[in-house]
Amino acid sequence: MSSLKTAGIIDTLMTAENLKTEMRHSWLSDGRQESVAEHSWRLALMVMLLHDRLDQSVDLTKCLQLAVLHDLGEAKAGDVPVFDVLTAEDKQAKFDAEEQGMIEICAKLGSEKGPQFMALWEEYEGCETYEAKFVKALDKLEVHLQHVEAPISTWSDIEYIMWFQPKWMMDYCVFDSTLTALAKEVSAAACAKMQAAGYDLDELKKEAA
């Protein structure tokens, strides 16, 4: 391996370290904020646990690659909470920033790994293959599961009503029966958590409508 390629790999790994310190909106069960790297790790674990339970067979290696790389651009662009990306302009700005981050990262990896990483990231963002849809759905499921695990005192107002709005999770899962069932279980756990804390689910449903 040439020193140039070695330097590119080291640089990429050092850039990726940012994901260990980049905090997400989500909180952990012990009350600490979650890092992007922690989210990506459990997403990869979910891929391993669920890849052979889907309605359609998928390439496990591809799915793991998508899971590990899906947020790599945030090592440069930073994480933007989904609740802050509601307009088309916001979504485009987030995409552009993360795409530029991936371009900068991949430029250091040479003619083989660079295009490979970029193509995987673009496949995930395009969300057209079964593998990409699967990982994207798990990304949403992991986020919602983390909300269930977090102390309810850390929830923002929108996190009480998002369970009753399919656009946040269920819409990403309906293409597969296993993922749909899992999403329903996570939602049921959230509803039980809210009820235990004294919240009126009927009132929250009205707010979500």
pLDDT of residue 89: 95
User: Which pLDDT belongs to residue 75?
Assistant: 98
Question: Could you give the CA distance from residue 47 to residue 94 in angstroms, rounded to a whole number?
Answer: 25
pTM for the structure as a whole: 0.95
pLDDT-based confidence at residue 42 (cuts at 50, 70, 90): very high
Contact 29, 149 (CB under 8 A): yes
- Asked whether the predicted pLDDT for residue 1 surpasses 70, the reply is no
Range of the domain at 65: 3-208
Query: What is residue 144's DSSP assignment?
Result: H
Minimal CA–CA distance to 136: which of 86, 180, 173?
A: 173
Share of the chain above pLDDT 90, in %: 92
Q: What is the DSSP string of 50-80?
A: HGGGSSS---HHHHHHHHHHTTTTHHHH---
Mean pLDDT of the chain: 96
Q: Is 34 helix (H, G, I), strand (E, B) or coil?
A: strand
Question: Position of tokens 């250091």?
Answer: 108
| Per-residue pLDDT tens digits for 50-67 | 999 999 999 999 999 999
**Residue pair 75/22 in contact by the 8 Å Cβ criterion:** yes
Residue 89: CATH number of its domain = 1.10.3210.10
Q: 111 pLDDT band (50/70/90 cuts)?
A: confident
Give the span between the Cα atoms of 152 and 105, in whole angstroms.
37
pLDDT of residue 86: 87
User: pLDDT per residue over 82-99, tens digit each?
Assistant: 989 989 999 999 999 999
Q: State the pLDDT at residue 4.
A: 53
pLDDT-derived band at 141, boundaries 50, 70, 90: very high
pLDDT of 202 higher than 60: yes
What's the number of domains the chain is made of? 1
